[in-house]
Structure 1
Amino acid sequence: MAGEPLFFVMLQQIVLFLLVTRVALRMRRRNRAQQRRAMRRMYRDGQYLGLNQAFGGAAGLAILEARQVDRRIGAYPRSSDWWQGIALDTFDDAQWYRRFRMRRNTFVLLLNDLEPVLRRTDTRMRNAITAETRLAIGIYWLASGDLLRTVADLFGVSEGSVSNIVYEVCSAIVNILGPRYMSFPRGDRLRETIHGYEKRWGFPQCGGAVDGSHIAVKAPSNTRTDFYNRKGWYSMVLQGVVDYRYRFTDVYIGWPGSVHDARVLRNSPIFEQATREDGRTLFPKEFTRRISGTDVPVVLLGDAAYPHLPWLTKPYPDNGHLNEEKSTFNYRHSRARMTVECAFGHLKGRWRCLSHQLNIDLDRVPTVVTACCVLHNICEEHGERFFNQWEVPAAAAYEPQVRPIQQVTPNAARDALARLIHGGFPMGGAAP
């Protein structure tokens, strides 16, 4: 090489340096132990791939830069000490219940059902967030309604991860647990519901109560006026059907807050089931009861905002001249219908994310709200206590969107029920 021109020597060294740099970039994908061994070998031999010490040192610096790449997730160190070191290890039942709105045993039952869906696989880059942690993140956010970054700091994950995990947990709850814990009563369950309304609330032939509630949402950029409700804020309407034990049997959500409750009902699956062309009704005809010479079917109870339908009964319009029979009917009707208002109050009080504005995308709101309704049923089913201090003031007490029309709608079934109640039908249990 001594007889070659200096130019070709320098060109050869430059080419070799570029090759070494390329090797260094590939070595970034290897683990640090292999890189340290390679650097020890390089410095021990004094040269690298035939280069002199100057070029060998430059190549070593390139490899050192590659080795020093920080692969930590996020812009700053994160810690999960609160979850792994405090919540899991030191929380007693009361502290756990206050944070997650359920006992540990109920949480474990949910984890056993949802773990196959929530489990993720570890990668070479990082360890996956465990199914237990993912479920805890979702339940904690639903129960507290805290900011995403606050939950992220508690569990040692990123804010974006919390947002995605909450939606994934809610989707799993709706898809897996929804059919098991929330379904319209049929057969023996319908018979139990009718019996429950008679014995506990003193209202016969009742298969549930229906009402609407507003869920506060972010104002959309393109249809702001549609979601602006009569209360003066942006919302989405949640229609719920509830049984005598405050459990949701059907929920329907998605219509903007400016839409009337009656219109939401007419576009809901419940209305479609009740008006099928095949002649089948919402409640089987076998449960129809003969009262005062009139066939009285099983009905839902609704307030004055709803239309009077064969399968939906609302109170007599109070024009100031109701007789004692109709006044008693309205009192019993209101007393039994309070089950749906109490259910909305427990729903928003237990899952605090619903008590204020949901700062999530509008297309995710129905899934999150439905998951809260399923979790509400699970808590009621497993005897999870609801504390009075959780109650959200005026959470469910929405006035009718329009004044009731001051005219009596003829309805023989309602008149028969009114005569039965006024004639000494048992009062039922304690009021809610």
Structure 2
Amino acid sequence: MVEDEQLRSLMFITTYLLLKRRRDLISANIQRRDEIQRRIRHRQYFFQRQRRMLMMMIARGLRSSVHIRTRPWTTTPSSDWWERVVMTEFQPCDWLDKFRMSRETFLYLCDKLRPRLARQDTSFRQALPVEKRVAVALWRLASNIEYRTISALFGVGKSTVCRCVRDMCHAIVALLSSIYLRPPSEQELKDSAQLFGSFWGFPHCVAAIATLHTAIITPSSNASDYYNPAGWLSVFSQVVVSGRGLFWDVCASFPGGTDPADILENSSLWVTAAEGGLSPASTPTFMGKPLRYVLLGEACYPLQSWLMKAYPEEKSRGVSHGALTEPQQLFNRRLSRALRVSEEALLRLRARWQCLSKRNDCGLDVVPTMILACCILHNLCESHGDAFKAEWQGEVSEAESPRPDHKPFLSTCMDQRNAEQVRSLFCDYFQLQSN
């Protein structure tokens, strides 16, 4: 009886284990089959996705070929317009009109910027060639037209146009500043002084300081600081122009309401000029006396031994200064004539790169870099002898706002003690020449 009970227990346990093993095997088979089905569905999904992408590429290619056959070159897809028309059919006048520089200068610029602008192709898209990236950015700087217009013209997204402009401006400042926007050498100082003396009638002078206002959209903060004396929003820049009309120094990114004297006093130019950095190692002579080269400035700047400005008129801001003597009036006329070199340089700058003459819709984080880049491009084009069209100046005069007129700097706290003696020395020189 006991043995029968033990036998039934053993048979029960054996049956249970066999059934459990069977269930485990069935469950493992089901899981294996489900995994196989999942992998099959996964592969089918990617296969169908690749097939759809291939069909879309084929369809896009067919549409492009139809457009190329049916549209004139002015409205063909931009890739064809860029590769077939611009790079092969553009004449020298077309390059000047659209890119404000010759084809040779354009290719030179592309080679210089290639280390910063070149991009690698990815498995999803081909990178834009450096030449096309530079062309997109130059078109924007030269015309200041909307991003969406350039986007349709070149066949790239609006965000790509914005990125091209930003990247090229930063690349120009990083790679070309040391070549085209740098302190002058001793020979360049002598050449500029000779040009000011022979062509502009002001001897012993190497450069002129001027102001540049670039119209902007309303900033998100501190908008009142950006209203200039003319009543419109702008970014204020201080530029130094040589006798050849090239920019030696540019100090940008200040709000339009900033006082010019404050910018000058806090710029590197102030320290450099005060320490004699704008004169040769051996001090030149003028009127038989050793005198460092001087710069010329507008009435809004303080008088320094190295910075000459005009004598104040008889009445300025309600303050009487007395009538000017004949030598003082002659000095003012000669200085006003010599300051035309900076006026003409700024006019050519704004006319060639009209993003500086029309309202610039870029953010404040981009505008200062764009101003520096345009000044460097101005020096590049002038140094390479690229032609300048007179009709560009007409476009500027029609588009831009009235230029701000800064009030004269009347305080004498920043004037140097011997600055008036230096100015009197120039008066004596002009008086002797007029006799």
Pair 1:98–1:374, CA change in 2 (3 A): same
Aligned residues of 1:209 and 1:242 also touching (Cα < 8 A): yes
The SS at the match of 2:199 is: helix
* Structure 1 residues 362 and 140: alpha-carbon distance in aligned structure 2, compared to 1, 3 A threshold: same
Matches within 5 A, 1:11-50: 16-25=36-45, 28=46, 35=47
Match of 1:321 in 2: 323
CA drift at 1:217: 1.7
Matched, 1:341 2:330: no
Within 1, Cα distance between the matches of 2:289 and 2:421? 7
Query: How far apart are the structure 1 equivalents of 2:303 and 2:133?
Result: 46
CA 1:397–1:213: 2 relative to 1, 3 Å: farther
For 2:335, what is the secondary structure of its paired residue?
Answer: helix
Identify the residue that residue 67 of structure 1 maps to in structure 2: 51
Structure 1 alignment gaps of length 5 or more? 29-34, 36-63, 427-432
TM-score, with length taken from structure 1: 0.80
Q: Secondary structure at the match of 1:99?
A: helix
Contact 2:302/2:409, CA 8 A, preserved across alignment: no
Distance in 1 (CA, whole Å) between partners of 2:238 and 2:331 is 24
Closer/same/farther in 2, CA of residues 399 and 365 from structure 1, 3 Å limit? closer
1:258, CA displacement in angstroms? 0.8
Question: Is 8-17 or 337-346 further displaced after alignment?
Answer: 8-17
Secondary structure at 1:253's aligned position in 2? strand
Cα distance in 2 for partners of 1:255, 1:342 equals 22
What does residue range 146-225 of structure 1 map to in structure 2 within 5 Å?
146-225=145-224
CA apart distance, 1:227 = 1.2
Give 2:285's aligned residue.
289
Shift of 1:102: 1.0
Distance 2:281 2:118 in 1: 46
Per mean C-alpha deviation after superposition, the further-off stretch among 8-17 and 322-331 is 8-17
Cα deviations by residue, 1:61-99 (Å, 9 ceiling, x for unpaired): xxx356325887xx9987422212222222211122110
Alpha-carbon distance in structure 1 between the residues aligned to 2:49 and 2:154: 32
Q: Deviations over 1:220-265 (max 9, x none)?
A: 1121111122222211111100011111011010111110111111
How far is 1:144 from its partner?
1.4
- Deviation, 1:130, is 0.6
The answer to whether residue 268 in structure 2 is matched with residue 269 in structure 1 is yes
1:347-406 superposed Cα distances (whole Å, 9 cap, x missing partner): 110001111122112111111111100110111111122222111229698454224549
| Structure 2 residue aligned with 1:371 | 373
Match of 1:388 among 387, 390, 400: 390
CA–CA distance in structure 2, aligned partners of residues 68 and 396 of structure 1: 53
Contact 1:170 1:371 in 2 (8 A): yes
2:319 matched residue in structure 1 = none
Displacement of 1:14 after TM fit? 5.9
Contact 1:213 1:396 in 2 (8 A): no
**Taking structure 1 as reference, are residues 11 and 281 closer, same or farther at Cα in structure 2, changes over 3 Å only?**
closer
For residues 202 and 387 of structure 1, what CA distance do their matches in structure 2 show?
26
Distance verdict in 2 for CA 1:325–1:406, change over 3 Å: farther
Alpha carbon RMSD of aligned pairs, Å?
2.9
Q: Name the counterpart of 1:47.
A: none
CA 1:12/1:294 → structure 2, altered by over 3 Å: closer, same or farther? closer
State whether structure 2 residue 427 is matched by structure 1 residue 418: yes
User: Given that residues 143 and 351 in structure 1 are in contact (C-alpha distance below 8 angstroms), is that contact kept between their aligned partners in structure 2?
Assistant: yes
How far is the alpha carbon of 1:121 from its aligned partner?
1.1
The more displaced of 409-418 and 130-139 is 409-418
Q: Return 15-24 or 371-380, whichever deviates more.
A: 15-24
CA gap of 1:281–1:178, structure 2 versus 1, over 3 A, is closer
Residue 329 (structure 1) shift: 0.9
Q: What letter corresponds to residue 402 of structure 1 in structure 2?
A: K
Deviations along 1:94-152, one digit per CA (max 9) or x if unpaired, are 12211011111111221222223222111111111011111111112111111111111
User: SS at 1:286's partner residue?
Assistant: coil
Q: Secondary structure at the match of 2:271?
A: helix
Aligned residues: 379
C-alpha distance in 2, partners of 1:406/1:328?
23
Shift of 1:411: 0.5
Cα gap change, 1:423/1:110 in structure 2, threshold over 3 Å: closer, same or farther? Answer: same
- Is 1:129 the equivalent of 2:148? no
Does structure 2 retain, via aligned residues, the 8 Å contact 1:185–1:193?
no
Go from structure 1 to structure 2 and tell me whether the alpha carbon gap of 1:112 and 1:285 turns closer, same or farther (over 3 Å shift): closer
Aligned 8 A contact 1:344 1:396 in 2: no
Contact 1:345 1:396 in 2 (8 A): no
Instruction: Report the equivalent of 1:299.
Output: 294
Gaps of 5+ in 2: 1-21, 65-76, 315-321
Within 2, Cα distance between the matches of 1:423 and 1:142? 48
- TM superposition shift of 1:333: 0.3
Residue 98 in 1 paired to residue 97 in 2? yes
TM-score (norm 2): 0.80
Q: CA 1:346–1:20 in structure 2 vs 1: closer, same or farther (change >3 Å)?
A: same
Q: Please point out which of 393, 397, 402 is paired with 2:407.
A: 402
Q: 3-state DSSP class of the match of 2:365? A: helix
- The Cα shift of 1:283 comes to 2.7
Task: Give distance in 1, aligned partners of 2:213 and 2:402.
Answer: 10
Q: Distance in 1 between matches of 2:337 and 2:281?
A: 26
- Match of 1:22, SS state, is helix
